[in-house]
Amino acid sequence: MKKNEVRDMLLKMKDNLLQEIASNMKMEIGHLQEAIADMYDLADDERERQFSILLCNRDREKLELIDEALERIEEGTYGICEDCGSKIAEGRVKVLPFARYCIACQSRIEKEEKYLRNQDDSLRYRSFIKDTEEIEE
Average pLDDT of 114-134? 72
Per the domain annotation, does 70 fall within a domain?
yes
**pLDDT one-digit tens code per residue, 10-22:** 999 988 888 887 7
Per the domain annotation, does 97 fall within a domain?
no
The number of distinct structural domains making up the chain is: 1
Per the domain annotation, does 16 fall within a domain?
yes
The predicted structure's pLDDT at residue 11 = 92
Per the domain annotation, does 108 fall within a domain?
no
The band of 78, judged by pLDDT with boundaries at 50, 70 and 90, is: very high
- How many other C-beta atoms are found inside a 10 Å radius of the C-beta of residue 28? 16
pLDDT at residue 87 tops 70: yes
Q: How far apart are CA 49 and CA 43, in angstroms?
A: 10
Per the domain annotation, does 102 fall within a domain?
no
